[in-house]
Amino acid sequence: MADTIRDLATALGLNPDALEETIVKWNRDCDLGEDPEFKRTTLLRKIETPPFYSIGPIQIVVVLTLGGLRVNTKCQVLDTYNNIILGLYAAGEIMGGVHGELYHGGTALAKALIFGRIAGKSAATEKP
């Protein structure tokens, strides 16, 4: 948190002139009602009232796998011939076929919990 954009940039280890210039450009685009660089026309809110906040540092992680492992209704992983691979279960983002044609943001936790429960119950009842 900082009272000025320059102070925020300094706290983040960024070039204060560059961040100020970016914010001036963003606010000008907001006044025009469009972001010509990314063609955005919604959620254009000026950044002008302190205090100013930032998020960081951020660690990059994989949150989506399109494709993934094929499973049955018990979350048992299937091989390329649709045969069950005994003792192997999958849940959450590693499963294929969950999204269909597009990704539904914010659903990863629900998939992990729901399919994790199914996989856990299935594994608990599997006979060795």
Q: Which of 79, 82, 69 lies closest to 111 in space, CA to CA?
A: 69
**112/63: higher pLDDT:** 112
Domain 1-56, second-level architecture: Alpha-Beta Complex (3.90)
pLDDT averaged over every residue in the chain: 88
What confidence score (pLDDT) does residue 127 get?
Answer: 79
What confidence score (pLDDT) does residue 103 get?
Answer: 62
Task: Output the CA torsion sign for 100, 102, 107, 109.
Answer: positive
Contact indicator for 75, 122 with CB cutoff of 8 Å: yes
Contact indicator for 48, 5 with CB cutoff of 8 Å: no
What confidence score (pLDDT) does residue 67 get?
Answer: 74
For the chain, give the percent of residues with pLDDT over 90.
Answer: 62
Contact indicator for 66, 95 with CB cutoff of 8 Å: no
Interval 63-84: pLDDT, tens = 666 678 999 999 999 999 999 9
Q: What is the longest distance spanned by two Cα atoms in the chain?
A: 66
Question: Could you tell me the pTM of the whole model?
Answer: 0.48
Domain boundaries, the chain: 1-56, 76-125
CA distance linking residue 50 with residue 29, whole number of Å: 19
